[in-house]
Structure 1
Amino acid sequence: MTILDKIIAFKKQEIAKIKAEVPVKKLVESPNFKRTPISLKASLTEKFSTGIIAEFKRQSPSKGIINDKVSVTEVTHGYLDADVAAQSILTDTSFFGGTMADLMEARTINTTKPILRKDFVVDAFQIVEAKAIGADVVLLIAACLTGEQLKNYGQLATDLGLEVLYEVHNQEDLDKLSDLDNKIIGINNRDLKTFKVDLENSIELASQIPSSSIKVSESGISDPRIVSGLKEYDFKGFLIGENFMKAEDPGLACQEFINQIR
């Protein structure tokens, strides 16, 4: 059983429990449900966009504790000061030490940049939940879902006014997306089954993605020169978490990184 298998099995149990306790009606009635989401597409493609999607991540299965000293409030302020294109927040508790409260707290501070809810979506309920807690974008990981689920969950997110970051790691994942046009497609350089990182992965898969879609490179980006190199392959977004979070001041680390790619 891979780490991903464990996470997905646990997540399904977790969501079944939450669904039994929280009616969808309650989510729909939450104040955040009425807000108009901020577009990640627009943020990544606007003139002078940094393209950086900066992540708040306390820990991970492969690295253990990354940073449990800083608060989501100070990191959010730091990322906004650095002029990130978007913010990503882990809401998985058991494996990544995140919470939905983290995203809600960030949302009260961050009113100008899109927020990606980073989690393992295995049920349509989580998409409604993402809207209720103030997310603008949901992550759909192809390795965790069938082609039918990707299509249905993607449609539900769109119907709710949310955008979707479709995450792929290999050709098999890409093939699950029936239509590649006009999507935001994230290529994860980390194999979720082994947690090994290979930056060549972004470049290899990039050629399979049409120019109408927005390409995002995820994981293992630790050097501003990597961003410059990926831009040559038409990447517009760069999801970076660990590289900033391992610093004592993630916001400052992000600012210094962005200063080098401008």
Structure 2
Amino acid sequence: MDILERIVAQQAQDLIRRKQSFPESYWESAPLFNRPCISLKSALNESSTGIIAEFKRRSPSKPSINFKAQVSEVASEYQAAGISGMSVLTNGPFFGGSLEDLSQARASANMPLLRKEFVIDPYQITEAKAHGADVILLIAACLEPARLRMLAKKTKSLGMEVLLEVHNEAELQANLIPEVDLIGVNNRNLKTFTVNVQTSLDLLQQIPQEFTPISESGLSDPKTVAMLGQAGFKGFLMGEHFMRSENPGEAAAAFVNALKNQRNED
């Protein structure tokens, strides 16, 4: 069983417990459930940088990234840095996150929030809306196309946007559906966790114009991000590069400035 299969199996077990403790109707009555969502697609199209900054404490490949940072502080600092949106890891067993992190980020910043999670069930989408998410990540590598479409329709019915994550052309072509708003090309192989930015460049020309393209993972150099932007990417999902810093907000602000300078040079 590879790491992706382990995460999905753990997720399925956790869902049984969560559904018993908090039925879907509980989340539908939450104060944030009827909040109008903020469009990440629009934010990226209007942004001069396209940076989506992540909050995560650890990952399967890195047991400790940053356990000191407070999500509320990081969210407000990310917004002050001028980023386009924030990705919040809510997976506990493998990434040290929680839905409470999402709620705290929502209370601290007025920008698009992505629930970064291995979504396999409509229940998780209702949870996300109740905790302030604007965008749901659907990972093609762990979803059959029919199930992915069902989850995408659920997401759209709640007023949120869908970020489809793909790793290869087969995953992309199998899931080019109207319910998708943004397509993220993950440069990290979820089975081996190796990273190759060429993956983004190889798939970009296969992404139809109606979908906003995002490059994900392995991005730490303003030159690389500027190059991907020139190629046609509108968004850049960055996680560990900022979170490895003692002050992720300051790291994000420095990167935004460096990226602007790099683009001016180009």
TM-score under structure 2 length normalisation: 0.95
1:124 paired residue number? 122
Pair 1:259 & 2:257 matched: yes
Pair 1:138 & 2:174 matched: no
Q: Which structure 1 residue ranges, 4+ long, deviate > 4 Å from structure 2?
A: none
2:263 paired residue number? none
Map Cα deviations across residues 180-228 of structure 1 (whole Å, 9 max, x no partner). 7963000000000111101100000111101121000000001011111
CA contact (8 A) 2:149 2:179 kept: no
1:73 paired residue number? 72
Could you tell me how far apart the structure 2 residues matched to 1:261 and 1:139 are?
26
CA contact (8 A) 2:149 2:177 kept: no
Pair 1:45 & 2:45 matched: yes
Map Cα deviations across residues 145-167 of structure 1 (whole Å, 9 max, x no partner). 00001111101100100001100
Matches within 5 A, 1:94-105: 94-105=93-104
CA contact (8 A) 2:87 2:114 kept: yes
Could you tell me how far apart the structure 1 residues matched to 2:77 and 2:27 are?
30
Matches within 5 A, 1:1-262: 1-46=1-46, 48-111=47-110, 113-179=111-177, 183-262=181-260
Q: What is the percent sequence identity of the aligned residues?
A: 48
Q: What is the Cα-based RMSD across aligned positions, in Å? A: 1.2
> How far did residue 172 of structure 1 move?
2.1
Equivalent residue of 1:140, what SS? strand
CA contact (8 A) 1:186 1:215 kept: yes
Gaps in structure 1 of 5+ consecutive residues: none
Count of residue correspondences? 260
Equivalent residue of 1:59, what SS? coil
The change in CA–CA distance for 1:95 and 1:158 in structure 2 (over 3 A counts) is same
